[in-house]
């Protein structure tokens, strides 16, 4: 009897350790920090919710076309996405990833237009963590995919442009079509965005 019970117990233990061994692919919904205080690149951001892709976006009037062309993909962690759907606002520990890729026109059967290549040019993260950053939000630049990155200083123009023009809470929801509709419905659009759109505050 004891032998059977032990066999059962070790069977369960085995199942448990198999489940634990699978945990590297378990979703990380919040930030993880390195020993030096830098933010760890969320390894599984490609499993997050895709918000939108932009092509050669530039925020300077009269800017020359980007060469090479660049396309960006924006992802948000699933917990923050669910909260936004319910409230039109970002909860604490929201993480957004912008992955910039080199575009290419030449490849396979493509005759015109551009597609995204395998080459990542830059990965940037926008994180809301009030327990760590007095201004709540912080930006991080992981280059082509460094494992960790220090917060970009608050004086950088990243912060001022996002604060002045982001449609919801420092983020560019006006370029994420499914979220823009939610923010409109919930009445959470920023005054800065409404000014840019020419609407009264």
Per-residue contact flags (x/-) with ligand HEC for residues 44 to 83, judged by CB under 6 A:
--------x-x--x-x------------x-x---------
The nearer residue to ligand HEC, 59 or 131, going by C-beta atoms, is 59
Neighbours of 55 (CB within 10 A): 12
Would residue 6 be called left, alpha or beta, if left means φ above 0 and alpha means ψ between -120 and 50 degrees? Answer: alpha
Helix axes 177-186, 78-87, angle to 10 degrees: 40
* Residues 83-102 within binding reach of ligand HEC (CB under 6 A): 96, 98
Minimum gap (Å) between residue 116 Cβ and ligand HEC: 13
CB-wise, 47 or 196, nearer to ligand HEC? 196
Binders of ligand HEC among 124-183, rule CB under 6 A?
Answer: 124-126, 139, 141, 152, 156-158, 161-162, 171-172, 175
Cβ at position 47, least distance to ligand HEC in Å? 17
Radius of gyration of the chain (CA): 21
Q: How far is the CB of 56 from ligand HEC (least distance, A)?
A: 10
What does the alpha-carbon distance between residue 25 and residue 4 come to, in Å, rounded to a whole number? 33
Q: Closest CB to ligand HEC among 11 and 119?
A: 119
Q: Between residues 115 and 175, which has the closer beta carbon with respect to ligand HEC?
A: 175
Q: List CB contacts of 132: < 8 A, sequence separation 6 or more.
A: 138
Distance of closest approach, residue 152 Cβ to ligand HEC, in angstroms: 6
Instruction: Note whether 192 binds ligand HEC by CB under 6 A.
Output: no
Give the integer Cα–Cα distance in Å for 36 and 23: 24
Terminal Cα distance for the chain, rounded: 76
Helices (H) and strands (E) in the chain, counts: 5, 7
Beta bridge partners of 54: 72
For ligand HEC, the binding residues (CB under 6 A) are 52, 54, 57, 59, 72, 74, 96, 98, 124-126, 139, 141, 152, 156-158, 161-162, 171-172, 175
């Amino acid at each position: 009897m004891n032998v059977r019970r032990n066999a059962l117990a070790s069977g369960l233990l085995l199942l448990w350790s198999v489940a634990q061994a699978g945990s590297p692919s378990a979703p990380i919904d919040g930030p993880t920090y390195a020993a030096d205080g830098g933010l760890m690149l969320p390894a599984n951001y490609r499993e997050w919710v895709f918000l939108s892709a932009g092509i050669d976006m530039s925020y300077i009037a009269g800017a020359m076309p980007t060469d090479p062309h660049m396309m960006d993909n924006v992802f948000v962690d699933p917990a923050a996405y669910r909260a936004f759907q319910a409230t039109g606002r970002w909860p604490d520990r929201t993480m957004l990833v912008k992955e910039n890729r080199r575009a290419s026109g030449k490849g396979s059967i493509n005759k015109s237009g551009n597609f995204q290549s395998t080459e990542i040019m830059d990965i940037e993260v926008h994180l809301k963590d009030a327990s760590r950053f007095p201004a709540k939000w912080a930006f991080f630049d992981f280059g082509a995919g460094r494992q960790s990155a220090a917060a970009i200083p608050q004086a950088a123009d990243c912060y001022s442009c996002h604060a002045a023009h982001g449609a919801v809470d420092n983020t560019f929801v006006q370029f994420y079509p499914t979220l823009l509709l939610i923010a409109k419905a919930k009445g959470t659009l920023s005054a800065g965005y409404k000014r840019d759109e020419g609407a009264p505050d």
